């Protein structure tokens, strides 16, 4: 992976650059009415600064507040602002997928609604895209104003993922990134359910680069990622990219077996050489508890995977669209689920 700092290559020849792309900005929103006015005004400034033109695709992930209404109103004032409204809350990864499917641009930028991903970084990302990179990831250099708890959990997540998977997922890189049309098309072919989008982006390959930024705190509203959702996301990331947990089960099994064999030899020795009957109750209870829990643990692990296989084979759409507001005549729209 290469790391480029902007401005260090003044000699880059203009004719070698890609033309200014039309940029689609994809933003999943879930009950974000508090932050929307500020977000919209900052987005407008950024869109005006993009010479190739821009559109914003909001994906309303089943919000129960005024989010959809506010976006609809914004669309009335500025047709570049568009909306895919999902039929219910499908979760952040599915909402991202819906947005990627809707986006038309040559380059697609993914970002959060809460302005923790500053949109002002987009022109710099576009510049790197023009220099030939297909994925421009934004790496936060500090996590301002985030709780110690959030930092610790994020840090351990990246450590564990790095250890257990072959997939290179960079620490401190969220979903904030620019992707070329080619990468978005490749992602569109991956329709698995339990998806960690940044893992998939790393899986598809193409040329990646990283750009640093200081991540501010949430501009308004509450986090939509409580602990439960975060744990589930980590588990999805692990199980969809690694079978290491399955191997952990077998390692424990082998270890337990060896220990058991050792104990059996000892028991035979006590019985036949020392000619003592072993009182035995304590060890029986311990062994019983130990192996029952071991079996349960392994069963649970296998169950995790079986459950995910079950989810996959159902082949349900990743999301359902309730309506789409993009300024195109309504007749041109399909009945509105994902393709395939």
CA distance 255 to 291: 12
Interacting partner of 29 out of ligand UDP, Mg ion, none (Cβ under 5 to 8 A depending on kind): ligand UDP
User: For the window 75-114, what string marks contact with ligand UDP as x by the rule CB under 6 A?
Assistant: --------------x-xx--x----------------xxx
By beta-carbon proximity to ligand UDP, the closer residue of 112 and 134 is 112
Residue 116 touching ligand UDP (CB under 6 A): yes
CA distance 80 to 74: 9
Min separation Cβ 137 and ligand UDP, Å: 16
Cβ(23)–Cβ(129) below 8 Å: no
SS3 141: strand
CA distance 325 to 330: 9
- Using CB under 6 A, which of the segments 12-20, 22-30, 295-303, 326-334 binds ligand UDP? 22-30
Q: Which two tokens stand for residue 9?
A: 């290559």
Q: Among residues 110, 155, 138, which one has the least CA distance to residue 216?
A: 138
Cβ(84)–Cβ(59) below 8 Å: yes
By beta-carbon proximity to Mg ion, the closer residue of 116 and 242 is 116
Which of 22, 25, 26, 30 is the binder for ligand UDP (CB under 6 A)?
Answer: 30
Q: Which two tokens stand for residue 64?
A: 């129960």
Min separation Cβ 141 and Mg ion, Å: 16
Interacting partner of 28 out of ligand UDP, Mg ion, none (Cβ under 5 to 8 A depending on kind): ligand UDP
By beta-carbon proximity to ligand UDP, the closer residue of 121 and 249 is 121
| Strand ranges, E, within the chain | 2-3, 23-29, 54-60, 81-86, 107-110, 135-143, 173-180, 208-215, 321-325
Name 320's bridge partners. Answer: 337
Residue 117 touching ligand UDP (CB under 6 A): no
Min separation Cβ 129 and ligand UDP, Å: 22
Min separation Cβ 117 and Mg ion, Å: 8
**φ, ψ of residue 91 in degrees (nearest 5):** 95, 155
Min separation Cβ 154 and ligand UDP, Å: 9
- Stretch 215-244 residues interacting with ligand UDP (CB under 6 A): 223-225
By beta-carbon proximity to ligand UDP, the closer residue of 32 and 55 is 32
Site size for ligand UDP, by CB under 6 A? Answer: 16
Cβ(27)–Cβ(57) below 8 Å: yes
Q: Which two tokens stand for residue 156?
A: 């351990």
Angle at 329 between CA 328 and CA 335, to 5 degrees: 95
| Strand ranges, E, within 32-106 | 54-60, 81-86
CA distance 292 to 286: 10
- Stretch 104-163 residues interacting with Mg ion (CB under 5 A): 112, 114, 116
CA distance 309 to 90: 19
Min separation Cβ 13 and ligand UDP, Å: 38
By beta-carbon proximity to ligand UDP, the closer residue of 61 and 106 is 61
Residue 175 touching Mg ion (CB under 5 A): no
Interacting partner of 32 out of Mg ion, ligand UDP, none (Cβ under 5 to 8 A depending on kind): ligand UDP
Min separation Cβ 128 and ligand UDP, Å: 23
Q: Which residues bind ligand UDP (CB under 6 A)?
A: 28-30, 32, 61, 89, 91-92, 95, 112-114, 116, 223-225
């Amino acid at each position: 992976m290469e790391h480029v700092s902007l401005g260090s290559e003044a000699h880059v020849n203009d004719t070698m650059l890609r033309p200014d792309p039309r940029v689609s900005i994809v933003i999943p929103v879930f009950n974000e009415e508090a932050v929307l006015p500020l977000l919209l005004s900052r987005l407008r400034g950024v869109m005006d600064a993009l010479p190739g033109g821009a559109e914003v695709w909001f994906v309303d992930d089943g919000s129960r507040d005024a989010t959809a209404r506010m976006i609809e109103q914004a669309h009335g004032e500025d047709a570049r602002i568009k909306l895919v409204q999902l039929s219910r809350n499908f979760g952040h990864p599915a909402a991202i997928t819906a947005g990627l499917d809707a986006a038309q641009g040559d380059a697609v930028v993914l970002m959060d609604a809460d302005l923790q991903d500053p949109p002002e970084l987009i022109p710099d990302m576009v510049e790197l895209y023009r220099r030939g990179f297909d994925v421009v990831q934004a790496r936060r250099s500090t996590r301002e104003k985030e709780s110690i708890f959030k930092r610790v959990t994020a840090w351990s997540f990246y450590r564990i993922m790095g250890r257990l998977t072959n997939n290179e997922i960079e620490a401190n890189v969220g979903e904030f990134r620019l992707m070329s049309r080619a990468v978005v098309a490749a992602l569109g072919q991956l329709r698995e359910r339990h998806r960690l989008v940044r893992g998939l982006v790393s899986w598809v390959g193409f040329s990646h680069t990283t750009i640093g930024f200081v991540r501010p705190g949430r501009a308004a509203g509450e986090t939509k990622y409580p602990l439960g959702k975060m744990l589930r996301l980590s588990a999805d990331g692990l199980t969809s990219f690694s079978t290491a947990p399955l191997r952990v089960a077998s390692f424990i099994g082998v270890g337990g077996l060896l220990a058991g064999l050792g104990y059996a030899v000892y028991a035979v020795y006590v019985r036949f050489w020392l000619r003592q009957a072993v009182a035995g109750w304590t060890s029986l209870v311990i062994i019983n508890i130990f192996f029952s829990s071991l079996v349960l643990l392994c069963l649970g692990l296998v169950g995790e995977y079986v459950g995910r296989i079950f989810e996959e084979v159902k082949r349900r759409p990743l999301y359902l669209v309730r309506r789409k507001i993009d300024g195109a005549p309504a007749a041109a729209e399909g009945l509105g689920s994902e393709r395939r």
